[in-house]
Amino acid sequence: MKRVQFEHSAIPYLFVAPQIIIILVFFLWPAAQAIYQSFLLEDAFGLSSQFVWFRNYEDTIFSDSWLQAAGFTIVFSAIVTFLSLALALLLAVKANEVIRGASTYKTTLMWAYAIAPPVAGLMGNLMFNPLIGDMYKFLNAIGWDFDHKLDSFDAGFVVVLISVWKQVSVNFIFFLSGLQGIPKSVNEASMMDCRSPTRRFWTITFPLLAPTTFFLMVINITYAFFETFGIIDTTTRGAPGGATNTLVFKVFQDGFRGADLGGSSAQSVVLMIMVLALTVVQFRFIERKVHY
C-alpha cells in the first residue's frame, strides 16, 4: 500500500460504491439464490416449493447424464489445454527464432484472439456440414467413416478442434512475450554451454517459461470449462445423446430448456466449488511466483 494515503470518511466509499452495488445486486444475490434454490424442489407448475436438503444434489449429480457430462468435461479440458498449449508453444518458439517476417507471423497468428467462440463454432460447424463442408468430405474420403451427428467420438473431435483453434492465439501471445522476456544474456550463456538447440530448449528455455505455462494452464482449463459454451451451443449442442455435454452447457440446458430449477442450481453450486478450487490453485501459484 501507499506510504501516504488520503484519509477521508466519505470519498472512498463513494468511489467504490458503483462497483460494490453492482456486485451485490448481480453477483452475490444471484449466487445466494442459486445456493438457496439448490435445496428446494418445485412442483410441476412452479407454484410451491419445498425444502429438500441435498436431494437435488443426489438426484442430479449421481445421475448418469451428469456423470457423463463431468467425464466429458474433464477429458475435453485436458485435451484442449494440452493441444492448444503445445501448438502455441511450438509456434511461439519458432516465431521467436525468425528474424525476417517475425512481426508478420506474430500478427497473423494472434488476430484470431478477437473471434468470439460462437462465431468460431458456427464457422467450424459449417466446415463440417455434411452438405457443403469440405472437411466432412475430406475426412470421409481418406477413409474415416466420419459422422459427428451420430458418432460421439467424431462429435468430440469437432468440438476439440474448434476449441483448440480458438485458444491457440491467446497462448501464443503469452508464450511469445514470455520468450521475449528471457534476457538475451541467458540465451547467449546457454549457447556457450550447450550445443544442441533441442536440449537447450528443454533445459533452459522451457524451465524459464514454467511460470507462464502454469498460469496458462489455469486460464485454459477455465476456458475449456466455461467459455466453450458458445462453441458447443453452435456446433453439437451436446449431441449425440449428451456425449458432448459440458457441465456448463448442461446447467444451461436443464435450467432454461428443462426448467429444472433445483437441479440446475445444484449443478451451479458444484461448479462454484470447482471455480473456487481453480482459483485457490492459481493463487498458490501467484504466491510462489512472488518468491522468485
Partner 1 sequence: MKQWNWRLISTHAILIVGVCFMSLPVWVAFATSTHSAEHILRNGLQFWPGSDFVETYRQVLFVDGGVMKSVLGTTMLKNSLILGIGFAVGKVIISMLAAYAIVYFRFKLAVPLFWVIFMTLLLPLEVRIIPSYEVVAGLGLLDTHVGLIVPLIASATGTFFFRQFFRSVPDELLEAARLDGATAWGFFKDILVPLSKTMIAAILIIMFVVGWNQYLWPLIMTTKEENYTLVIGIKQIYQILAEGGELPQYQKAFALTILATLPPVLVVLVFQNWFVKGLVESEK
Tell me how far apart the alpha carbons of residues 73 and 3 are, in angstroms, rounded to a whole number: 47
Instruction: Pick the closest to residue 274 from 251, 247, 252 (CA basis).
Output: 247
Which of residues 113 and 240 has its CB atom nearest to partner 1 in the complex? 113
The CB-of-100 to partner 1 minimum distance in angstroms stands at: 9
- The CA-to-CA distance between both ends of the chain, in Å, stands at 21
In whole angstroms, the minimum distance from the beta carbon of 199 to partner 1 comes to 15
Residue 14 or 192 with smaller CB distance to partner 1: 14
Rank residues 56 and 268 by Cβ distance to partner 1 and give the closer one: 268
Taking the complex as a whole, the smallest distance from the CB of residue 205 to partner 1 amounts, in Å, to 15
Least distance to partner 1, CB of residue 226, Å:
5
User: 37-44 — which CB contacts under 8 Å span 24+ positions?
Assistant: 37/261, 37/262, 37/265, 38/262, 38/265, 38/266, 38/268, 38/269, 39/262, 40/261, 40/262, 40/265, 41/262, 42/261, 42/262
Of 65 and 252, the one with the shorter C-beta distance to partner 1 is 252
Distance in Å, CB of 219 to partner 1, minimum:
8
Q: Which three cell numbers stand for residue 232?
A: 458447443
Left if phi > 0, otherwise alpha if psi is -120 to 50, otherwise beta: which for 50? beta
Q: Could you tell me how far CA 23 lies from the centroid of its own chain?
A: 23
Task: Enter the C-alpha cell of residue 83.
Answer: 493441444
Between CA 274 and CA 199 the distance in angstroms is 37
Tell me whether residue 34 or residue 243 sits nearer to partner 1 (CB atom). Answer: 34
Q: Which is nearer to partner 1, 71 or 101 (CB)?
A: 101
Q: How far is the CB of 208 from partner 1 (least distance, A)?
A: 16
Minimum CB distance to partner 1, residue 184 (Å): 19
Q: Is 46 left (phi over 0), alpha (psi -120 to 50) or beta?
A: left
Query: In terms of CB distance, is 79 or 123 closer to partner 1?
Result: 123
